[in-house]
Structure 1
Amino acid sequence: MTADKFQIGWSQRIRLEWLERTANLVLAGNDKDTVFASLQQDLQDQLSIGGTAKRGNREKVITILMKLWSVPPRHLQDFRNRGLNLLQVLPVKQHLLVHWGMATAVYPFWAGVAEQTGRLLRLQGHVAAAQVQRRIRERYGERETVSRAARRVLRSFMDWGVLEDSGKKGVYVQGRNLPVDTSESMGWLIEALLRAGSRDSASLHSLMHSPSLFPFSFSGSVSLNTYSGLEFMRFGMDEDMVMLSK
């Protein structure tokens, strides 16, 4: 397991419309300084209102937004570019899956919270924030920063509509579920999981059924053979292995 997998990074509640705005700024050809200035202006009445601190909530949110779509880690730049292309061809209602994939690849902490959330939803049909926080602390350490970050990821899940209030405080149920019915969309999410786990290869079945992808349902009729980011290999009689393209 790499050191990056133990870094939190995602420390703020991030709304889907902020990610959409950031991606659109990049698609318009803006450089990172222009994207940063535009986000500062857009969010000045929503976060840290009237604040001038260099590391206030607004600046922390912008850091996350920028790392996802404007200045991703070098090894994810090609992945980001393909995500931008995907945003241009998918209907807006499907953009959630592109942002989910980017968040998963760039911030393994996001993927970790999603995995525990998905496991609990499968097991009991609902998820309590306290349960997720306990499991995440077991993995990332008994620190208040870990619990706080997990709460903010869960809050982001709520904002994105993939979790909903159950009526009981701190307990959530499954929200929207998006069908994934194209090879590009399915391949994008599978590749994101491989990159989040720093793995060269994994069972296709395990990836497609990963609890980290709880907001999505895959169509069994979609073939991934045309997706350029992945390569496939048959292992044994009936198990397909998938790996990142060289």
Structure 2
Amino acid sequence: MALRKNKIGFDRQLTNDWLNQVAYLVADGNSPEEVRIKFRESFEDQTSDALRKTINLLMGIWSTVPVEIRPLRNQTIDLFLHADDSEKKIIHYLMALANYPFFFDVCLLTGRALRLSDSITSKQILTKIQEKWGERSTTIRAVQRSLKTIEQWGWLKSGKQGLFSIYDDSSKTIIPVEMHGFVANCILFGALRSSMLIEEIIQNPCLFPFQIDFNMHEMKQWSGVRIEKRGREDLLVSLR
């Protein structure tokens, strides 16, 4: 976890089509090098630095994931192959959260700010991010591209003067029950935590694009987490 703790990484704006391509290549059993080569073949300029950085980010979400996240990735592949287009977007978002704590923090702060106001600016998020991640030269671009990636999924809309708002608060994406344990697993990895009280997961601001009514029975079916009582009333969700 130490490497992920200090790595910003999320410095490109991604598209859902690219994420789908890479996920399917991984699902087909391609090695990381094979994924790189096959994905790069779909671009005319295959040597640009921008493409290299984009591929590195896509790979970090689906292919070259840390050792501790590989079981999660492997289990998620089956979810992905059986998901519809809307569910695939959810899966990409959550896998990005799990693998990139910086992206997790952007989403957490965005969700928290949107609970207080109908709109936010990237500068607001940047100020908060820099309190935790420091005033690095890469954070401005990384925050903007994180927000723009969420926008292309259809969960934020941008307006004048760098404002972002929820695209349509009345029709949030519903997360199906079979993904509830997966959601908890990704939040724990993204937050760099081995355990959380169930309330911390259920009420986590990073879930701002979604509507979810957690099903405890379904959560327990997911092999990456375990749920146990702590005290008389508290439930603790932990990584297995």
TM-score by length of 1: 0.89
Q: Does 1:186 align with 2:180?
A: yes
Residue 206 of structure 1 is matched in structure 2 by 200
Flag structure 2 segments of 5+ consecutive residues without an equivalent: none
Q: Does 1:38 align with 2:38?
A: yes
Flag structure 1 segments of 5+ consecutive residues without an equivalent: none
SS of the aligned residue for 2:226 comes to strand
Assess if the C-alpha contact under 8 Å between 2:180 and 2:214 holds in 1. Answer: no
SS of the aligned residue for 2:220 comes to coil
Structure 1: distance between partners of 2:234 and 2:93: 27
Assess if the C-alpha contact under 8 Å between 1:233 and 1:242 holds in 2. Answer: yes
Residue 135 of structure 1 is matched in structure 2 by 128
Structure 1: distance between partners of 2:212 and 2:157: 21
Which whole-Å deviations, capped at 9, do the CAs of 1:143-198 have from their partners, x for residues lacking one?
22111111111111111111112x3321111126211231x311111111111222
Assess if the C-alpha contact under 8 Å between 1:162 and 1:175 holds in 2. Answer: yes
Residue 102 of structure 2 is matched in structure 1 by 109
Assess if the C-alpha contact under 8 Å between 1:136 and 1:147 holds in 2. Answer: no
Structure 1: distance between partners of 2:148 and 2:60: 20
Structure 1: distance between partners of 2:30 and 2:82: 20
Q: Does 1:240 align with 2:235?
A: yes
TM-aligned CA deviation for residue 227 of structure 1: 2.0
Which whole-Å deviations, capped at 9, do the CAs of 1:202-240 have from their partners, x for residues lacking one?
111111111111111112556322222211111223221
Percent identity reads 29
Structure 2: distance between partners of 1:70 and 1:230: 22
Structure 1: distance between partners of 2:13 and 2:214: 34
Q: Classify 1:51/1:112 alpha carbon distance in 2 versus 1 (closer, same or farther; 3 Å).
A: same
Structure 1: distance between partners of 2:35 and 2:194: 33
Structure 2: distance between partners of 1:212 and 1:62: 25
Q: Classify 1:220/1:101 alpha carbon distance in 2 versus 1 (closer, same or farther; 3 Å).
A: closer
Structure 2: distance between partners of 1:6 and 1:88: 32
Which whole-Å deviations, capped at 9, do the CAs of 1:71-117 have from their partners, x for residues lacking one?
21111111110111111222221111111121111110110100110
Residue 166 of structure 2 is matched in structure 1 by 174
TM-aligned CA deviation for residue 17 of structure 1: 1.3
Structural RMSD (CA): 1.8
Q: Classify 1:225/1:147 alpha carbon distance in 2 versus 1 (closer, same or farther; 3 Å).
A: same
Deviates more, 1:104-113 or 1:221-230: 221-230
Q: Does 1:152 align with 2:152?
A: no
In structure 2, give the amino acid aligned to 1:112.
D
Q: Does 1:12 align with 2:12?
A: yes
